[in-house]
Amino acid sequence: MNSKPKVPKSDIIIDFSQSTGKFKPVNGVNGGPFDYGNQSISIEGFHTAARFPFTRLHDANWPHPDAVDINTIFPIFSADPDDPKNYIFDKTDDYIASIIKTKSKIIYRLGESIEHKTNYFINPPLDYNKWAKICTNIIRHYNAGWNNGFHYNIRYWEIWNEPEGKAMWSGTQEQYFKLYEIAAKKIKAFDPLLKVGGPASTGARSVIVKPFLQYCKNHSLPLDFFSWHLYSQVPGDYMRNAKIVRALLNKYGYINAESFLDEWHYITSWMRLSPKDSTDTTVEEQFAKTVSSAGAAFSASVLMILQNSPVDEANFYCADYSPWSMFNPYGVPSKTYFVFKAYHQLVNRSYRVLCRKLLKDSSAFASAGLDENGKSAVFMVSNTDSEDKSFNISLQHFPGKGNIHAEIYRVDKTSNLELKKSAELNDSPRYADTRFTC
């Protein structure tokens, strides 16, 4: 008499019979693959392979922001904004073209790059209406072909970045609100289908968030997306802050506004990020940790958390050649990059499936996706603990017939998404089990 196969105790159950919807584009980045330096290899191919869904344009061409910013495109503010000769688009054209080539969509930040030690361009414009006119002409150049331009159909236009920060805006909150009002209205008047948003706040609890939303509500301003940032070493912070933002948008009447976490990064401490703060660790060591296996595990965890959060889109900071990047200054990809490349394989599935974590372990996260034809699936498991752990993964109700061929790839201290295990899993009764160490 044959007995039913014994089902082992599971740590994580993936049930392919239960769809949880489509994947959201939370694996976007800041910064394109363009670089003028001869010392760096091209990272365009890496961007293409990772298929970043969105690329946000801010702090472009680091460390010399000579593209994207208003002052680089329209350098003489006293000039006539209706005269095409007063615009310099060449470098920004090159920068954006490199992103378009990778099939990534663009979020264009209208404004200026951060200035930690100067205040050349972060001051309120002398004429808000003129500044808004310049913005609409930039949009015309990239969407309507104006001034030997293009038809890129860039939908998202963000007005400034972190205006509550002294390194980004020398004016008052009220001055920024007025700038947003004038620019948002002019952009919408030019093309009502465009998406306008801001303020790219430093956080969900920033001092500018509630006053900004109140101003927008009082003046009936368009706000298609609300953008905010978070730099934290605690994965759970991302869910908590996402819920705060969504609740605030609903409270102030912007229930249809999208929530954009368009800067996030693994940062263990804001201290020691400059030489004068260095004590037990150097600046180099601090940044190195962000792209180590620990930083990669953290990034994988945040990506999976954001899928379950009320965030509509997210952009890691960043994917260019800066110290904050998932690439080093020479264009070599880090372990964090390989996490994003792996994550693309996950979100490339047709839809998400139910993934239940049964073990009480705050360091473990999991997500899974299935193709529409039911023949191919991908799941990702991350472990933010410093020690390797072994998890029992139960694959339930996988469609089709025959055994399941499984391949396991790892990103860890010694591996960069290499194949580590290949096996045929028992399919009866449409159940498979495997141990997974990460």
Report the CATH number at residue 418.
2.60.40
In a domain, residue 1? The reply is no
We report the CATH number of the domain holding residue 85 as 3.20.20.80
pLDDT of residue 124: 98
pLDDT of residue 6: 54
Mean pLDDT across 222-237: 95
Query: What's the confidence (pLDDT) of residue 422?
Result: 87
Are 216 and 361 contained in the same domain? no
Q: Which residue in 196, 30, 194, 27 sits closest to 99, CA to CA?
A: 30
Q: How many other CB atoms are there within 10 angstroms of residue 365's CB atom?
A: 25
Range from 38-42, 130-134, 340-344 carrying the lowest mean pLDDT: 38-42
Closest by CA position to 98, among listed 46, 134, 143, 135: 46
Question: Left if phi > 0, otherwise alpha if psi is -120 to 50, otherwise beta: which for 200?
Answer: left
Query: Mean pLDDT over all residues of the chain?
Result: 91
Report which of residues 372 and 326 the model is more confident about.
326
**pLDDT in the model for residue 2:** 47
Q: Is a pLDDT exceeding 50 seen at residue 430?
A: no
Looking at 347, 365, 384, which one is the last position of a domain? Answer: 347
pLDDT at 55 over 80: yes
> Does residue 116 or residue 216 have the better pLDDT?
216
The angle formed by the CA atoms of residues 421, 427 and 432, to the nearest 5 degrees, is 55
Q: Do 286 and 356 fall into the same domain?
A: no
C-alpha to C-alpha distances, 427 to 7, 366, 379, 400, 436, nearest whole angstrom: 12, 22, 17, 10, 18
Angle subtended at Cα 31 by Cα 203 and Cα 73, rounded to the nearest 5 degrees: 100
Total-model pTM: 0.93
Read off the pLDDT of residues 388-405 as tens digits, 9 standing for 90 and up. Answer: 888 888 888 888 777 788
Domain that residue 394 falls in: 12-18+352-437
CA–CA gap between residue 364 and residue 297 (Å, rounded): 10
The mean per-residue pLDDT over the stretch 90-119 comes to 96
Rounded to whole angstroms, the Cα distance separating 298 from 411 reads: 12
The answer to whether residues 210 and 231 belong to one domain is yes
Structure tokens at 194: 């465009």
The predicted pLDDT at position 275 comes to 56
Of 268, 196, 207, the residue nearest 237 (C-alpha): 268
386 and 237, same structural domain? no
Distance CA 219, CA 226 (A): 16
Whether residues 243 and 123 fall in one domain:
yes
- Indicate the range of 119-133, 168-182, 272-286 predicted with least confidence: 272-286
Residues 254 and 357 in one domain: no
In angstroms, rounded to a whole number, what is the distance separating the alpha carbons of residues 260 and 311?
A: 6
- Domain-ending residue, one of 330, 347, 364: 347
The answer on 293 and 181 residing in a single domain is: yes
Residue 108 has pLDDT above 60, yes or no: yes
**One domain, residues 208 and 160:** yes
Average pLDDT (93-111) is 97
Q: Count other C-beta atoms under 10 Å from residue 163's C-beta.
A: 28
Q: 351: which strand partners?
A: 370
Question: Looking at 112-121, 278-287, 304-313, which range is the least confident one?
Answer: 278-287
pLDDT at 48 over 70: yes
Lowest-pLDDT choice from 35-39, 65-69, 195-199: 35-39
CA distances in angstroms from 107 to 52, 57, 158, 231, 313, listed in the order given: 12, 6, 7, 20, 11
Q: Are residues 325 and 375 in the same domain?
A: no
Least confident interval from 96-105, 118-127, 367-376: 367-376
Confidence of residue 119 (pLDDT cuts 50, 70, 90): very high
Residue 64 in this model has a pLDDT that exceeds 90: no
Q: Say what the pLDDT of residue 244 is.
A: 98
Q: Is the pLDDT of residue 1 over 50?
A: no
Q: 243 or 286: which carries more pLDDT confidence?
A: 243
pLDDT tens per residue across span 327-356: 998 999 999 999 999 999 999 998 999 999
pLDDT, position 427? 57
- Show which of 289, 322, 347 is a domain's final residue: 347
For the stretch 261-287, pLDDT in tens is: 999 999 866 655 655 555 566 778 888
pLDDT, residue 421, reads 87
